[in-house]
Amino acid sequence: MPVFEVRGFDAQGRAIKDVFDADSEKALKLQLKRDGIFIEHITERGAKSGKKGELDFSKYFERITIADLSVVTRQLATLIKAGIPLVDSIAALVDQTSNIKFKQVLSDIKNRLNEGSNLADALAHYPNIFSNLYVNMVRAGETSGTLEIVLERIADYTENQARLRAKITGALTYPVIMLLVAVGIISFLFVAVVPKITRIFEEMKASLPLPTKILIAVSSFVRDYWWLLILLAGITVYFIARYIRSPSGRIRFDRLMLRAPIVGEITKMLAMARFSRTLSTLLRSGVPILQSMDIVKNILNNQILVSALEEARNSIREGESIAIPLKKSGQFPPLVIHMIAVGEKSGQLEDMLNNVADTYDYQVDARLSALTSLLEPIMILSMGAVIFFMVISILLPILQLNEFIK
């Protein structure tokens, strides 16, 4: 069924921009006319704009966030739990969702369901929105007849991931802003202020102290070759990113991230929290252990940990427990190994994994707060040291001049 984007006005004169699905453009116009909507412009999604020279930039700026996905998943679980058929539940979400792009996606999913597809296969057509984890959990829920329960677990999982991402973003935002402001202020001083002051010393043709000579040289270089610094920075970032994307570079970078002071510890904690939470959610939803391990390794962004999980998966396939191969890898902390071993023996593996995830989420939150508190004074002291050097470099020649006059 085609999807149309409509712009117009309702009976009260309020502007409307929404997405509708209908058998044809003519049928949609009749439907909207009955609803009292005056159509200003109507465009079929995927087709070119009807007005010559008109460009639609919405597709470039619209995006579906993890928060949008979490809300829709929770609403879908509630509707299905209330006994509303799946297709009608998706249709209700199409009407309720304000995100235009998500409306289009949900409308297409509804059409695929009407054509006989199951929900998991319909979701799989949008891998950038619905991850492999999401699709496999839905498939397990459909197979076991517990789709609404699985959707609630997915909603819990996505909400937890959204909160964790918000914590990390919030912790890093202030230091990044401070760094940009500090670089901007120091660059302005080097380019606009220092040259005017040091020009006086150069005209005196007097012997200048070493700090002043260094300051003049740095200021002149920044003022005359700022474009070269930007170019070198861009080239450096490009080649580093290219190296990290290579197989050997990725492994070295991931190993460095795990061994780095402070950052390495936080990186491993984040990975353990994500591993434990995801595996717990998958197992609780009825996904087989080997398939769950395949999905979990794809959400870890560290090749060292991925390799450890692959070896563990092979050992599990041969009949070993989960804890033993993870312990052999040497990449998983004793807490994780111990909790998994206890969970396997007691038959409460999902609960134990969830407890591990809660523990590491709390530790990550505490470490990020401590890191933010540590970065702030370090950045202030660093900026103060640079400005102190500039002040001393300017004052020393002035003091020498005063002694010469006396």
CB 97, CB 103: distance < 8 Å: yes
For residue 13, what is the DSSP state? Answer: -
Ordered by start, the domain boundaries in the chain are 3-61, 66-160, 178-406
Element (H, E) at 118: none
Q: What is the rounded CA–CA span in Å between residue 41 and residue 17?
A: 10
3-61 topology per CATH? Ubiquitin-like (UB roll) (3.10.20)
pLDDT in tens, the chain (406 residues): 566 777 777 766 677 777 666 666 677 677 777 777 777 777 766 444 444 444 444 444 567 888 888 888 889 989 988 888 888 888 888 888 878 888 888 888 888 888 888 898 899 888 888 888 788 888 888 877 888 888 888 888 888 878 877 877 877 787 788 888 888 888 887 777 777 777 777 676 667 788 888 888 888 888 888 889 889 999 999 999 999 888 888 889 888 888 888 788 888 888 888 888 888 888 888 888 888 888 888 777 788 888 888 888 888 888 888 888 888 888 888 888 998 889 888 888 888 988 988 888 888 888 887 877 787 788 888 888 888 888 888 888 777 766 555 5
Closest CA to 5 of 107, 88, 75, 96: 107
- Superfamily for the 178-406 domain: Type II secretion system (T2SS), domain F (1.20.81.30)
Domains 66-160 and 178-406 share a fold: yes
Q: How far is CA 338 from CA 28, 233, 356, in A?
A: 61, 46, 10
SS3 category, 184: helix
The CATH number, out of the four listed (1.50.10.20, 1.20.910.10, 1.20.81.30, 3.40.630.30), of the domain defined by the range 66-160: 1.20.81.30
